[in-house]
Chains A and B, each alone.
Chain A
């Protein structure tokens, strides 16, 4: 059985606001399935006494002092943006998010 369905890929694409064609859905579902099946094999060797790992280094409590550091200048901050207006990033209207 496939680890991810075509419908799930379509749903994820919608959540990520990606326009995906019908052909691409088929192709990506197949590719993602291979990846997920491979990752799932890790679970087969994990015994009861091996807890899930979220971090590869056994560190906790790494904090920074609450001291200001220089920020970017406004023009530098906006320099990589495709579009800007009066010091703000200009983005297309996002559909279907609010009324």
Chain B
């Protein structure tokens, strides 16, 4: 295999224009599946949340979940879409064991919601992402390929299927093609998915957790030379984190530029994103829409939402996340740039809840944007999954405010909290981490430090107060970091008669 020389990302975007499009699937958080009363709990034993309908046993008939229809309409309204006055479900026929019916009940040319938009801000500039359609369908079962070394189907001898997920309501949100983003395409794509996630979370219709697959994203990318028609697009699947959205677009731009530079053509295909390598590899060649032989679902009657009901749902939409961010930014007294970082880190609600649990805005922000954001980044997980709850962070900050923990000890306590050792107070007790406030013990340690460093003590007595740092260090060492540095410093100066 010949290796094509790949250009740098900057080089690629200086010579090619990008067009991106995003298809996002959101698993709704309804109690039951789309067409039957089976539960939708995550992580249940395989094939324990299944029934004749979702297993497609002969004679079983679907019954539509009204709550899923309402949730889809609310998503459509929050994305500024028009809601169809009348539309139908459709059968998408394909033969693969992830759907026992041999078709997926979806929508085709009559989506429930059409023609909306989402505005996102990147580097202080606003971009409008058009929404082509929002439709309702059902999720597929989970297949596990066994017999091969890689866990993928290549080399596998058989597949094991769990239908617990089959039939869970799934909302598909498709953007219009987005041209003209230049080198910012990856960042805008990421910002769009983050905004979409925040909007849907604010509606309370899904937990939108990428790491659990309740929000999944496919990224379409194409390149063209300036002034020329849009190029052939590829569809990248398996993009399972916000960071991956950005990386997937970037790597596909570089790859396609390399192919085009070499005089090659882009094949319209599905590609798989590899989290570990940060690039994509070709997947199955896509069946065309006619191959799916869509037709109106005869077992489900049309959906015709009452306009008065839709108007009521619209009037009851929650505050838009962007409006809320502007309001919180005022309340927290931080810059727009800082607020954007908070939003991009998925920390708005977490900080809000931490403040509600009693922490100051600065204290709450410090932990979520510091230690916890760092951890989430390193592990490539969502901040909400970093291992601490808002209540725990608020409790930690309270211990700091009360002087029971200094900054360094608080970090250690937080490590214990995320390691699952319990609430901050429990970790503190179990690990014996408390600031030494016993003045007698501290004074003894201070006197010891002074006695051991007579030269430094003399300097301080002569007015060189800055030298106290060395003695503070010595005391911190004997107290194993469990003293408050400020108190120690005051104590040293007092003992040496210079305060």
Contact = CB atoms under 8 A, between A and B. Distances in A.
Interface of A: 15-17, 54-55, 57, 59-74, 77-78, 80, 85-94, 96-99
A63 B46 contact: no
Contacts of A78: 47
A77 B293 CA distance: 29
B88 A87 contact: no
A87 B33 CA distance: 20
B302 A88 contact: no
Given A55-B301, A68-B37, A74-B48, A99 B153 contact: yes
B95 interface: yes
A72 B47 CA distance: 8
Given A55-B302, A69-B32, A72-B50, A97 B96 contact: yes
Interface of B: 30-32, 36-39, 45-52, 55, 57, 63-69, 86, 88, 93-97, 102, 144-145, 147, 152-154, 156-163, 272, 281-284, 287, 291, 293, 296, 298, 300-305
Nearest to A17: B95
B160 A90 contact: yes
Contacts of A66: 30-32, 65-68
A91 B49 contact: no
Contacts, number: 148
A88 B160 contact: yes
21 contacts: A16-B102, A54-B298, A60-B302, A60-B304, A64-B37, A70-B51, A71-B38, A71-B49, A71-B51, A74-B47, A85-B160, A87-B162, A88-B47, A89-B47, A89-B160, A90-B160, A91-B97, A91-B160, A99-B153, A99-B154, A99-B272
Contact of A88 (B32, B144, B303): B144
Nearest to A78: B47
Given A96-B284, A97-B96, A99-B154, A64 B160 contact: no
A69 B51 contact: yes
A36 to B, nearest CB: 14
B159 A98 contact: no
Contacts of A87: 45-48, 162
A86 B46 CA distance: 8
A65 B30 CA distance: 11
Contact of B301 (A59, A69, A88): A59
Contacts of A67: 31-32, 37
Contacts of A74: 45-48
Nearest to A63: B66
A9 to B, nearest CB: 13
A63 B70 CA distance: 11
A94 B163 CA distance: 17
